[in-house]
C-alpha cells in the first residue's frame, strides 16, 4: 500500500532531517520525496510505502511541527469527480476516453450540464448525465439545483470541462480548492468572454489555454498548467477556437493528472507542483 504525505509549514533549519527522522523511526520507506522553500514557507511531499499506524505517524509529525502546520496523509487512490459541461465535447470526450481506457486516475461519477447536448455522448459510457437547464431560473435557483444534484454523489473534485457559466462566490465557497476550470486563453491575457476574439483583435502570434483552480474572482484562481500554440495572421478567431481545442483538452488532462496525484500545494494564490 502506498501513501501520500504532504506537509506545509513555516521554514526552519533541519526540517528535512527532522521529518525523515520521524518517518525512519516508523520503519517506513520513502519511495520519492520533494521539498521546496519559498516565501519563507516549507512544502514537502513524499510517497511512503509500508505498513504503519497512520494516526501515530501524523501525531508524531504534529508534535514535532506544531499546530499551525498542514499535515496530510492518505492512501493513494483514484479520485471521484463530477464533470460540468455546456455544449462542447472535446474536453469531455477526452476525459471519457481516458476514463474508459483506465488512464484517468479518477472515477467519473456524473456529468452535469446546463444543456442536454452531450447527454447522448455521455450515456454511451454508462455515466449519469444531469441536464439542469437555466430557463426561468435565477442564478441562485440554478445553482441550488446543482447543489441538490451534487448531494446524490460523494466526490473529491468538480471539473469544469468547458462549462460556460460563471459560478457565484457562494457556490464556489462550498468547494474551496476543489473546482478545476479550463480557460481558453493564456491567462492573465484575455480574461472573460470570447478570449479568441480578443486574441484576434490584439493580433497575438501565440494563443494558449490555462487550467486553474476556481476562486471568487473570474479567471483569477491559482494556475495549475498552461500551454500555447503558434498562430499566424491567417487565423480567424474561429480558426483559433478550432485549433485551441486541442490545447484546451491537453492542458485540462495534464492539470487533472497533477491534481489526482496530490502533487499540488496552493499558497498565496499560486501553485507549487511537485
Q: Give 136 or 232: the residue with its C-beta nearer to a copy of itself.
A: 232
Contact residue for a copy of itself among 124, 131, 192, 238 (CB under 8 A): 124
CB of 17 to a copy of itself, least distance (A): 4
Taking CB under 8 A as the criterion, which residues in 13-42 touch a copy of itself? 13-14, 16-17, 20-21, 23-24, 29-33, 35-38
How many residues lie near a copy of itself (CB under 8 A)?
A: 64
Contact residue for a copy of itself among 113, 114, 215, 226 (CB under 8 A): 226
Stretch that binds a copy of itself, among 61-69, 77-85, 86-94, 132-140 (CB under 8 A): 86-94
CA distance 130 to 115: 9
Q: Give 173 or 270: the residue with its C-beta nearer to a copy of itself.
A: 270
Angle subtended by helix axes 237-260 and 195-202, to nearest 10: 120
Helix (H, G, I), strand (E, B) or coil at 254: helix
* Helix then strand then coil, % of the chain, to nearest 5: 30, 30, 35
Contacts 24+ apart (CB under 8 A), 68-71: 68/9, 68/10, 69/7, 69/8, 69/9, 69/10, 70/6, 70/7, 70/8, 70/9, 71/5, 71/6, 71/7
Contact residue for a copy of itself among 135, 136, 138, 232 (CB under 8 A): 232
Measured CA angle at 262 (ends 157, 37), to 5 deg: 130
CB of 176 to a copy of itself, least distance (A): 17
Instruction: Return the closest-CA partner of residue 156 out of 80, 217, 232, 221.
Output: 80
Helix (H, G, I), strand (E, B) or coil at 86: coil
| Cell 502533487 belongs to residue | 263
Q: Pick left, alpha or beta for residue 57 (phi over 0 → left; psi -120 to 50 → alpha; otherwise beta).
A: alpha
Confirm or reject binding of residue 164 to a copy of itself (CB under 8 A).
Answer: no
Instruction: Return the closest-CA partner of residue 45 out of 57, 54, 58, 35.
Output: 35
Instruction: Return the closest-CA partner of residue 178 out of 155, 158, 153.
Output: 158
Residue in 11, 116, 156, 219 annotated catalytic: 219
Confirm or reject binding of residue 237 to a copy of itself (CB under 8 A).
Answer: no
Q: Give 150 or 204: the residue with its C-beta nearer to a copy of itself.
A: 204
Confirm or reject binding of residue 97 to a copy of itself (CB under 8 A).
Answer: yes
Instruction: Return the closest-CA partner of residue 4 out of 70, 68, 74.
Output: 74
User: Is 34 in the active site?
Assistant: no
Confirm or reject binding of residue 273 to a copy of itself (CB under 8 A).
Answer: yes
Contact residue for a copy of itself among 67, 75, 136, 202 (CB under 8 A): 202
Give the catalytic positions in this structure.
Answer: 219
Residues contributing to the site for a copy of itself (CB under 8 A):
13-14, 16-17, 20-21, 23-24, 29-33, 35-38, 89-90, 93-94, 96-98, 100-101, 103, 121, 124-125, 186-190, 202-206, 208, 222-228, 230, 232-234, 242, 245-246, 250, 253-254, 268-273
Amino acid at each position: 500500500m502506498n501513501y501520500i504525505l504532504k506537509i506545509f509549514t513555516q521554514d526552519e533549519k533541519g526540517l528535512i532531517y527532522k521529518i525523515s527522522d520521524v518517518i525512519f523511526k516508523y520503519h517506513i520507506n520513502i519511495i520519492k520525496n520533494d521539498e521546496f522553500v519559498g516565501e519563507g514557507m516549507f512544502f514537502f511531499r513524499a510517497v511512503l510505502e509500508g505498513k504503519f499506524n497512520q494516526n501515530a505517524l501524523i501525531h508524531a509529525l504534529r508534535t514535532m511541527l506544531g499546530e499551525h502546520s498542514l499535515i496530510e496523509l492518505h492512501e493513494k487512490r483514484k479520485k471521484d469527480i463530477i464533470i460540468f459541461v455546456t455544449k462542447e465535447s472535446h474536453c469531455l470526450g477526452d476525459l471519457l476516453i481516458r476514463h474508459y481506457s483506465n488512464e484517468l486516475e479518477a472515477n467519473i461519477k456524473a456529468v452535469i450540464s446546463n444543456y442536454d447536448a452531450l447527454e447522448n455522448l455521455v450515456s454511451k459510457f454508462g455515466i449519469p448525465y444531469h441536464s439542469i437547464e437555466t430557463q426561468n431560473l435565477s442564478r441562485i435557483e440554478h445553482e441550488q439545483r446543482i447543489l441538490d444534484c451534487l448531494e446524490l454523489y460523494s466526490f473529491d473534485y468538480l471539473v469544469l470541462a468547458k462549462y460556460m457559466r460563471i459560478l457565484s462566490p457562494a457556490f464556489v465557497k462550498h468547494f474551496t480548492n476543489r473546482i478545476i476550470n479550463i480557460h481558453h486563453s493564456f491567462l492573465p491575457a484575455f480574461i472573460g468572454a470570447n478570449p479568441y476574439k480578443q486574441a484576434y483583435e490584439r493580433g497575438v502570434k501565440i494563443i494558449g489555454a490555462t487550467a486553474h483552480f476556481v476562486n471568487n474572482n473570474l479567471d483569477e484562481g491559482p494556475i495549475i498548467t498552461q500551454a500555447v500554440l503558434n498562430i499566424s495572421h491567417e487565423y480567424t478567431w474561429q480558426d483559433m477556437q478550432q485549433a485551441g481545442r486541442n490545447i484546451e483538452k491537453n492542458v485540462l488532462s495534464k492539470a487533472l493528472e497533477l491534481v489526482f496525484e496530490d502533487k499540488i500545494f496552493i499558497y498565496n494564490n499560486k501553485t507549487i507542483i511537485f
